[in-house]
């Protein structure tokens, strides 16, 4: 059986590389996604602060000049939270045995849920130090977050990482390194098409979520009720991530001969992946925040 599939294009994770002595300076797609996401977020939030009519009492929560300071806090929160989240949620045993590798973020290994927690902490510290309303700042950050998330997922695709489970669908992609060992069908050697779940996530967590939030901000005036945009983002991301995890290949450390699906919680023939388990609280918190602010 040789089903139709898309062969992964010959893409390099590096945009360019410059050798400098014994050091090789390289700009990677993943780094570019972070940089572009931060710059786009900074630009949009600045514009929001210059539109007082969008906010409660027609008053922006802070001056546009303070957005650069907020960006600094967010960058620190994303990097520290994302890395520590990956260490604690996905490979605690390995990093406990090799603590010197925890700070080696350039080798990969970031968790969205950890980065999300890091941004919350960093944002609260910023709001306390600059005396600005936390919920309104959270709404501004929630609006722009899908941009960085979507770009990050596209970078995951370019890097040929975090692919999905084997599939016979015609849009399945043959990723390099995704051999046929774990395929449930009679595939030819080294030929295993998989769901391009990175692109599923880029569409749902990035494009669709951003369009929805932008509509609610500019067409429905939801920034005038602090917390609503944050609630939609948190619940929307959690639901999108939970859904795509159905087709996403589980992390290798959770896959065993007795648990080939990599479920961290088994529910009979079904189960929950680590990504789904971490997304459930986000869905609950987002819905709770929406209900609370709608009644306020």
Is 74 within the bounds of a domain? no
Eight-class DSSP state of 121: H
pLDDT band (50, 70, 90) for residue 261: confident
Is 257 within the bounds of a domain? no
CA-to-CA distance for 275 and 120, rounded, in angstroms? 19
Instruction: Answer for the pair 141, 116: CB distance below 8 angstroms, yes or no.
Output: no
Is 152 within the bounds of a domain? yes
pTM, rounded to two decimals: 0.89
Digit-coded pLDDT (tens) for 226-242: 999 999 999 999 999 99
Instruction: Answer for the pair 90, 111: CB distance below 8 angstroms, yes or no.
Output: yes
54-68, 88-102, 121-135, 280-294, range with the lowest pLDDT: 88-102
Count CA within 13 A, CB hemisphere, residue 262.
20
Which pLDDT score is estimated for 190? 61
Is 282 within the bounds of a domain? no
* Residue 286 scores a pLDDT above 70: yes
Structural domain range at position 149: 6-61+133-214
Is 181 within the bounds of a domain? yes
Is 112 within the bounds of a domain? no
Q: What are phi and psi of 114, to 5 degrees?
A: -70, -45
153 known member of a binding site: yes
Is 144 within the bounds of a domain? yes
Count CA within 13 A, CB hemisphere, residue 39.
7
Mean per-residue pLDDT, 181-205: 81
* Other beta carbons less than 10 A from residue 28's beta carbon: 19
Is 28 within the bounds of a domain? yes
Query: Given the DSSP bridges, would you call strands 265-267 and 23-28 parallel, antiparallel or unpaired?
Result: unpaired
Which pLDDT score is estimated for 181? 57
Domain count across the chain: 1
* Other beta carbons less than 10 A from residue 79's beta carbon: 15
């Amino acid at each position: 059986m040789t089903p139709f599939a898309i062969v992964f294009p010959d893409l390099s994770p590096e945009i360019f590389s410059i050798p400098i002595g014994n050091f090789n300076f390289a700009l990677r797609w993943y780094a570019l996604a972070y940089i572009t996401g931060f710059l786009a977020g900074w630009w949009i939030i600045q514009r929001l602060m210059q539109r007082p009519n969008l906010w409660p009492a027609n008053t922006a929560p802070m001056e546009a000049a303070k957005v650069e300071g907020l960006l600094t806090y967010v960058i620190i929160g994303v990097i520290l939270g994302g890395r520590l989240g990956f260490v604690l949620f996905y490979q605690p045993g390995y990093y406990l045995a090799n603590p010197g590798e925890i700070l080696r973020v350039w080798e990969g290994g970031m968790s969205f849920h950890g980065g999300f927690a890091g941004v919350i902490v960093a944002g609260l510290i910023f709001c306390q130090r600059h005396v600005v309303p936390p919920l309104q700042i959270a709404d501004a950050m929630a609006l722009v977050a899908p941009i960085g998330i979507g770009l990050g997922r596209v970078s995951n695709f370019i890097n040929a990482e975090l692919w999905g489970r084997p599939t016979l669908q015609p849009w399945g992609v043959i990723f390099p390194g995704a051999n046929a060992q774990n395929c449930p069908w009679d595939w030819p050697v080294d030929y295993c098409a998989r769901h391009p779940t990175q692109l599923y996530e880029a569409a749902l967590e990035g494009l669709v979520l951003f369009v929805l939030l932008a509509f609610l901000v500019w067409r429905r005036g939801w920034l005038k009720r602090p917390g609503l945009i944050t609630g939609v983002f948190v619940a929307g991301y959690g639901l999108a991530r939970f859904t795509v995890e159905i087709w996403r290949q589980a992390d290798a450390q959770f896959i065993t001969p007795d648990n080939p699906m990599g479920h961290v919680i088994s529910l009979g023939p079904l189960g929950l992946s680590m990504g789904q388990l971490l997304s459930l609280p986000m869905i609950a918190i987002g819905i709770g925040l929406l209900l609370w602010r709608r009644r306020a």
